[in-house]
Structure 1
Amino acid sequence: MPPSRQRGVSRREFVKAAVAIGGSAALSACLGRESPDLPQGPDDLSGLSRRQHAWNDALRTDDHGNHVPPKHHLLLYLDYAGDGTPADADRETAETALRSLERAYPPNTDDGDIGLLFTVGYAPAYFERFEGALPESVDLPAPEALAPFENPVPDEPDAVVHLASDYGSVLLAAEEGLLGERDEVNGRAMDATFDGVFERAALAEDGRARRTGFIGEGLPADNQDVAGIPDSEPVPDDSPLYMGFESGFEKTQATEDSVTIAEGPFAGGTAQHVSSMDLNLTQWYEQDSREHREASMFCPAHADNDVIEGTGENLGNSSGVGGCAETVEEDARDGVVGHAQKNARAREDGRPVMLRRDFDSTDGDRAGLHFLALQESISDFVKTREAMNGTDAAAEGAVGQRANNGILQYINVRRRGNYLLPPRESRALPTPRPGA
């Protein structure tokens, strides 16, 4: 971990670094800093939702009713270790391992802390090993470039496990328990592991099979000593994300119900998209004015009328850009159009079609973002991304393909992947037609 320029290593910096490094030594060091005293999970798992993505009931909410995400995140990219189609014995082993984690850690505690939440998703490449195709109720295309100015590498492992907790040590222990590197987690024996069933994925072009990150007040500021952020350490101390503003307003998120697949053998599941991005924030903080950042992130009207205070916590449970969606082309002619302003045009019945669970990252010692979104179909993500591209705005003159076009010039999409998150009963090595 790079040394901090101006201060000693805080607990939050240390935990972030330990999660990024991984392994038993990092876990031991992390436990020494965190010392979580978590109860074990339930013996009876029948009360858990069949929706893997049903996290909101476990999350605390802030004073405005916005769900507060877990602080620490880990993405494990995995390949099936066997040949051909998975055997039933492997399914049973994988499911037993997942249930062991659920019995080891509670989703949350009486104090509202997140113990462990996780999902397991499968890429289109996984389902290609079967003769039958996915049902029409599942929209899961291979990942591709979605703008003329991007060229992401497609992530096509068999599976990805998303682990989330308020404690970095929990993520490290859960990772080692799943992969067969620990016999017990949180004082509870692992009844089975992924050893011999899954292995870390071999991703194209040196892709990381293990990706980490964080979100929450103070964490980006504590971890800004990386490439992509100016030496002046400009990230506000109370910002939950590197770009300095609140995100995840309740009214600018899809509901868990609306992103759930409604019919077919995977009813109760959802589609997940993950884009891994580099952030380039030197101009954002050192050349762009505060007014320009507000206009670029939200909309010019917010900047002109001093709507945003600090990181935007005063906005409550909505970014308030609904009316700005009608002035995109006009604002583009005037010189800048906002990120949230463009995305508001992709709403249905006044609500977004995606539920975002993204988080910042220092993977590779540079500022990044793992943009993780849930939606009923990948086409919903594509529609939102097309709105974000602002092609119509760029055609208006003053706004370019990326320049002054929301936040496009500050992000670079390196990798992209699409995944199906089955309902809990078929999350372990599913066939394209569970139950058939």
Structure 2
Amino acid sequence: MNGSDRGLSRRAFVRSAVAIGGASALSACLQREEPEDVPQAALAPDELPDRQHAWNEFLATDDHGNVVPPEHHLLLGLEYVGDGPAEVERERERLEAALRTLERAYKRGNEGLAFTIGYGPNYFDRFDTDLPDGVDLPEPEALAPIEDPQLDEYDALVHLASDYGHVTLSAEEALKGDLDELNGLEVEGSLTGVFDVAERRTGFIGRGLPADNQAGVSGIPDGEPVPEDAPLFMGFKSGFRKTQASEDRVTIGEGPFAGGTTIHLSKIQLHLHQWYEQDSRDQRVAKMFSPTHAEDGLVEGAGHNLGDSSRVAEVGGSAADDARNEGTVGHAQKAARAREDGAPIILRRDFDSTDDDRAALHFLSLQRSIEDFVTTRRAMTGSDLTEGSVNSRTNNGILQYISVRNRANYLVPPRDRRALPAPNPA
């Protein structure tokens, strides 16, 4: 990372460093970000919420009350390499010490660090007992006839997020046992002897970041078409407050994992040549939101003018009618059909990626039950809307522009059970 990096913007350089990883990337990232003192934790670990996924109260918000996610994200797919039952208590202590080091070293939130650790079906399969009734953690599967994803089999997943690339990289190096000190604190514990990092995936989200990172990326046409105000590669804002489930809604309410949640993680490859080169802006608006949004000119730029809602529920009209009569139905319009009592049932924390120099989206959602995600995904697919109508896959939201490459499911326990949980702790 020298010589050729001089023409990169700071944000593009930091994204590149996070994607590469390792000690040299961390050193380069520190030099480019020139960080001021990143705050250590304001709360002791025991004072933090029981929910690992309770991020929102610690994250920034915009003028409309929408949560502003951290800019840089790192996903670590982990394989268990420990000794099993004979050493499980020692391994739990080592892992918990590592996680508490992260909590003490950085303030929770954008300017520090937010993180979770979850466990996949493969991890729990090694036990003789089953997960308790009411905990929904099926094996991942293809969810539409048009997809053939790789089904991830990692034992665990760590999600690290911060506005500072060097914070995510430092946290990763500390977890791997490659740092003695983290933000001025002695590192205690690590993944060593418990988990190996089998795969790392990286990404980013935020106004201007996709535009900064679009040049030369497969899946995006030449000419750098992604708008400067867009937080995601497809050019539009998402994560409106009223289109997101609350953290309460996605929290498991009863049993030994009460206070936990589930994660569904998809890696989605983006194909945006037609999106930007052939589709007009009105077509993009109609396919992302609804035909009414396009006809009435409701979306300015990336859609920041919409405030705290996509407005699909108020003005989007009937998805079935638009599919039948207009030949187009919007992605947000379809997804809104999965609401319960008027409220969404999944909480999205997804972000873009240029791993392997390919435009992608890591779709990470939280929900009380994986079935809630399946319900939402089926609504997004909208197969029921295209049967017997003038519609086609081309105008069925954004399906034509995405390919699901990976799927995975994880259980995120409450904080007091996050280190190597037994399937039925009670």
**Range of TM-score over shorter length:** over 0.9
Q: Does 1:185 align with 2:185?
A: no
Q: C-alpha separation between the residues in 2 aligned to 1:161 and 1:172?
A: 13
The counterpart of 1:327, out of the listed 318, 322, 326, is 318
The counterpart of 1:425, out of the listed 408, 416, 422, is 416
Aligned AA (1:11): R
Q: C-alpha separation between the residues in 1 aligned to 2:34 and 2:343?
A: 40
1:325–1:344 contact (8 Å) kept in structure 2 = no
Aligned AA (2:55): W
Q: Does 1:302 align with 2:293?
A: yes
The alpha carbon displacement at 1:3 in A equals 10
The alpha carbon displacement at 1:302 in A equals 0.7
TM-score (norm 1): 0.94
**Structure 2 match to 1:94:** 95
**Structure 1 match to 2:24:** 25
Q: C-alpha separation between the residues in 1 aligned to 2:298 and 2:363?
A: 26
Aligned AA (1:308): V
The alpha carbon displacement at 1:345 in A equals 0.5
**Structure 1 match to 2:349:** 357
**SS state at 1:308 partner:** coil
For 1:134-283, what aligned pairs fall within 5 Å after superposition? 134-201=131-198, 209-225=199-215, 226-283=217-274
Q: C-alpha separation between the residues in 1 aligned to 2:252 and 2:143?
A: 23
The counterpart of 2:335, out of the listed 343, 346, 368, is 343
Q: C-alpha separation between the residues in 2 aligned to 1:418 and 1:258?
A: 18
Q: C-alpha separation between the residues in 2 aligned to 1:345 and 1:115?
A: 36
How many positions carry a matched residue from both structures?
422
The alpha carbon displacement at 1:184 in A equals 1.2
1:115–1:166 contact (8 Å) kept in structure 2 = yes
**Structure 1 match to 2:13:** 14
**SS state at 2:201 partner:** strand
Q: C-alpha separation between the residues in 2 aligned to 1:11 and 1:210?
A: 22
Aligned AA (2:80): Y
**SS state at 2:203 partner:** strand
The alpha carbon displacement at 1:325 in A equals 6.0
TM-score (norm 2): 0.96
2:367–2:373 contact (8 Å) kept in structure 1 = yes
Aligned AA (1:422): P
Aligned AA (1:182): L
The alpha carbon displacement at 1:35 in A equals 2.2
The alpha carbon displacement at 1:197 in A equals 1.1
**SS state at 1:343 partner:** helix
1:58–1:114 contact (8 Å) kept in structure 2 = no
Aligned AA (2:114): L
2:40–2:112 contact (8 Å) kept in structure 1 = no
Q: C-alpha separation between the residues in 1 aligned to 2:380 and 2:49?
A: 33
Q: C-alpha separation between the residues in 2 aligned to 1:392 and 1:426?
A: 41
Q: C-alpha separation between the residues in 1 aligned to 2:224 and 2:44?
A: 48
Q: C-alpha separation between the residues in 2 aligned to 1:348 and 1:326?
A: 18
Aligned AA (1:71): E
Structure 1: segments with no counterpart, 5+ residues: 202-208
**SS state at 1:429 partner:** coil
CA RMSD, aligned part only?
A: 1.7
The alpha carbon displacement at 1:323 in A equals 4.2
Q: Does 1:369 align with 2:370?
A: no
Q: C-alpha separation between the residues in 2 aligned to 1:325 and 1:135?
A: 40
The alpha carbon displacement at 1:326 in A equals 5.0
1:329–1:396 contact (8 Å) kept in structure 2 = no
**SS state at 1:403 partner:** helix
Q: Does 1:72 align with 2:63?
A: no
Q: Greater shift after overlay, 75-84 or 425-434?
A: 75-84
The alpha carbon displacement at 1:39 in A equals 2.3
The alpha carbon displacement at 1:397 in A equals 2.6
2:292–2:316 contact (8 Å) kept in structure 1 = no
Q: C-alpha separation between the residues in 2 aligned to 1:414 and 1:264?
A: 34
Residues 1:3 and 1:16: Cα distance change in structure 2 (over 3 Å): farther
**Structure 2 match to 1:48:** 48
The alpha carbon displacement at 1:44 in A equals 2.5
Q: C-alpha separation between the residues in 2 aligned to 1:273 and 1:322?
A: 25
**SS state at 1:87 partner:** helix
Q: C-alpha separation between the residues in 1 aligned to 2:274 and 2:284?
A: 10
What are the Cα deviations for residues 360-406 of structure 1, in whole angstroms up to 9, with x where unaligned?
00011010000000000000000000101111111133222x32100
Q: C-alpha separation between the residues in 1 aligned to 2:263 and 2:99?
A: 19
Q: C-alpha separation between the residues in 1 aligned to 2:3 and 2:351?
A: 22
Q: Greater shift after overlay, 43-52 or 314-323?
A: 43-52
**Structure 1 match to 2:281:** 290
The alpha carbon displacement at 1:8 in A equals 2.4
Q: C-alpha separation between the residues in 2 aligned to 1:304 and 1:32?
A: 48
2:267–2:360 contact (8 Å) kept in structure 1 = yes
1:332–1:396 contact (8 Å) kept in structure 2 = no
